[in-house]
Structure 1
Amino acid sequence: MTDRATTTRVIYLGGLGRSGTTLLERLLGELPGVVALGEVVHLWERGVLAEELCGCGAPFPVCPFWRQVGERAFGGWTPALVGRILTLRRRVDRTRRIPRIEHPDLAEYVQAYRLLYEAVGAPVVIDSSKHASLACCLVAGGVDVRIVHVVRDPRAVAHSWARTVQRPEDGRPMTQWGPARTAVHWTAQNTALELLPGRGARVVRVRYEDLLAAPGPTLGSLALGLGLAEPDLPFLDDRTVWLGPSHTASGNPMRFLVGRVELRRDDSWMTGMRDGDRRVVNALTWPLRARYGYREAP
């Protein structure tokens, strides 16, 4: 952890889970001056209360990084703090509130995130919380935030949500959704993110498929667009990336990977998805699917 910066910029990754946000976060987190924090929206309950593992492999309460962040931001992590944040979240942080996000408790809720970001002491932090509603809260609360809207073919997302994936923390299966539920959430979350520019948010979109087709050019262009100066990518060599340890809270199992990682696009849905499920997803995700360049047939 570095000395506290005067102003901390936030890069917020938005989109539905299983769309590649963890991969993008890990890549951006290798850039100089950038620190990846994981899904901060889940830090309070899963990190502080449930004591899940940090991306470094240590339980959240004993991770030196997060212990120092908690001390600097709040004087320490306490159940009372978490209880208050979760209460505020239920009142303020709701997708349905995006058109009118103003609320008497908004400033207090956003201040908790601002204090956490600043306590990291880095010029730029990445929050991959994904939720459009939290992004809207941060914008409305005056946080210096740039939003990266991450999209992926909804059929690939639905196929991923239907698979059994074990949690590295305890071996239990991660949440599974059926194709219809995933399609509805994909449409709702991406529609909500489409509304954010109208609330004054600075938003740039990146597709998972483009990132995996050309990792270097896509990441370099995105970094420039986010104002991260001229990007140097020594950790990225064609289809291989070298990842250092990270202190990310909650999220995809990829957050634990360290060392050499091959970048491979997952298109298993093309052969593994049932025709009926594909038709359901196609029907429920049009016309956003077409807007993002995903054709009816793969």
Structure 2
Amino acid sequence: MSDQTPSPKVLFVAGTGRSGTTILSTILGQLPGAMSIGELRYVWERGFIEDHRCGCGLPFSECPVWKAVVEHAYCGATPPDAGAVSRDLLSRLRMLRIPSMVVRQLRGRPAVPPHPNDEKIAALYTALSQLEHPAVIVDSSKLPPYGKILERLPGIDLYVVHVVRDPRANAFSWRRVKVTGDRDDDATMERLELWRSSAMWVVWNYLVEFWWPVERGRVVRVRYEDFVDRPRETVEQIAQMLGLDTSRTPFVGERSVRMHTTHTVAGNPNRHDRGLVQLRPDEEWRRAMPRLQRAVVSLFTLPGLRHFGYSLRS
């Protein structure tokens, strides 16, 4: 990227899975000047290796946008060893490494140690910026350690949206069976035990807040429940932080959004939605989640419940 070309803004959507990050990211990607790319941290495994469908409906290897981006990123040469990059990221982003990450941060060192693969990751964002020319790249990769990798990549101007959802709703969603829609089979999304989803909810959300406090001015914290209650207001708030035009939004009503084709590489199945989409609160957990399970999740996440403004009574 030349010195005259401004660094692209990358909006990192952070939090835990099943918190509404995909639908929010997809809507933001409909704004003029913005491009939603889904969870790019998964592109190595789900794109290069497993050839999942892009948000446009084509396999990753056949999507004209990603074909051009990959060719441009690596100058027409053979792309990096996707398996090696994927394994490296899996190792560096593990929750068990969080204590050492925090210590490194407190000592003034990079929370996630630099690695040669970082240049290969950065090349994709640079190519996206140079070919598609978005003012903002919306990346819903969620995991805070991945955000710390992005934060120091050359040519990236990082902003953060922290999405939080009631941990009981989050845990209930992790137990649902959902077909991915990424391939011509009935593959389903990962399911987590209550204790695992609860632990992730606490660790990731507190870590996002520790690393990117709202006071920095480049961070917006959004509760899922507030987003689905006032989606237009939420999207406009984030757009204003990014300097995007809020006079033309995809909303055709307070809760109706017109979705156009995206080129997202991973995420919740709703990234494939097209046309007019109605946003509705997902409150099934309130009537379908057994009381004992609700109590277990509430106990595991009690400090965070109060901290992020949720009532102990569900």
TM-score by length of 1: 0.91
Of residues 173, 178, 191, the one that matches 1:165 is 178
Change (3 A) 1:220 1:157: same
Shift of 1:225: 2.2
- Matching residue of 2:167: 154
Partner Cα separation in structure 2 for residue 57 and residue 287 of structure 1: 42
- CA change 1:24–1:296 in 2 (3 A) is same
Deviations 1:196-223 (A, max 9, x none): 137x894321111111101111111121
Matched, 1:140 2:148: no
Correspondence for 1:82: 82
Q: 1:128 and 2:149 equivalent? A: no
Gaps of 5+ in 1: none
State the alpha-carbon separation in 2 of the partners of residues 160 and 262 from structure 1.
19
Whichever residue aligns with residue 229 of structure 2, its letter is: A
Partner of 1:102: 110
Moved more, 106-115 or 142-151: 106-115
Aligned positions of 1:6-45 closer than 5 A = 6-45=6-45
The worse-fitting range, judged by mean Cα deviation, of 8-17 and 219-228 is 219-228
Q: What is the aligned partner in structure 1 of residue 232 from structure 2?
A: 216
The 3 A distance-change label for structure 1 pair 135 and 272 is same
Residue 284 in 1 paired to residue 294 in 2? no
Q: Is the 8 A contact 1:5 1:123 kept in 2?
A: no
Asked whether the equivalents of residues 48 and 60 of structure 1 are also in contact (C-alpha less than 8 Å), the reply is: yes
Question: For residue 58 of structure 2, what is the aligned residue in structure 1?
Answer: 58
Q: Is the 8 A contact 1:93 1:137 kept in 2?
A: no
CA positional deviation for 1:179: 1.6
Distance 1:78 1:236 in 2: 44
- Greater mean deviation of Cα atoms: 92-101 or 49-58: 92-101
8 Å CA contact retained: 2:30, 2:250: no
Displacement after TM superposition at 1:229 (Å): 4.5
State the match for 1:73 in structure 2.
73
Output the CA distance in 2 between the equivalents of 1:31 and 1:103.
Answer: 32
Counterpart of 2:274, as a letter, is V
Aligned partners of 2:49 and 2:83 also within 8 Å: no
Q: CA deviation at 1:108?
A: 3.2
- Give ranges in structure 2 of 5+ residues lacking alignment: none
The aligned counterpart of 1:273 is: 289
- Residue among 242, 252, 273 paired with 1:257: 273
State the Cα distance separating 1:105 from its structure 2 match: 6.2
% identical equivalent positions = 36
> Within 2, Cα distance between the matches of 1:104 and 1:193?
14
The answer as to whether partners of 2:36 and 2:264 remain within 8 angstroms in 1 is: yes
- Structure 1 pair 197–102 and aligned structure 2 pair: CA distance change class (3 A): same
- Secondary structure of 1:254's match? helix
**Alignment length (residue pairs):** 294
Q: Aligned partners of 1:55 and 1:160: how far apart in 2?
A: 22
Query: Could you give the per-residue CA deviations for residues 72-99 of structure 1, whole angstroms, max 9, x where no partner exists?
Result: 1113585643144235425644442432
Deviation at 1:135, TM superposition (A): 0.4
**Structure 1's 296 and 241: CA in aligned 2 closer, same or farther, altered over 3 A?**
same
3-state secondary structure, aligned to 2:212? helix
Is contact 1:11-1:145 (8 Å) kept?
yes
Change (3 A) 1:201 1:193: farther
Tell which deviates more after alignment, 89-98 or 232-241: 89-98
SS in 2 for 1:184: helix
Query: 2-side partners of 1:65 and 1:47: how far apart?
Result: 13
- Does structure 1 retain, via aligned residues, the 8 Å contact 2:55–2:263? yes
CA distance in 1, matches of 2:249, 2:112: 44
Shift in Å, 1:5: 5.7
* TM value normalised by structure 2: 0.86
Distance 1:178 1:7 in 2: 41
Show the counterpart of 2:241: 225
Q: Distance in 2 between matches of 1:13 and 1:203?
A: 10
Mapped to 2, the partners of 1:230 and 1:56 lie a distance apart of 25
Asked if 1:243 is matched to 2:265, the reply is no
In 2 relative to 1, CA 10–91 (structure 1 residues): closer, same or farther, beyond 3 Å? same
CA shift in 2, pair 1:264/1:91, >3 Å: closer
Matching residue within 104, 107, 119 for 1:111? 119
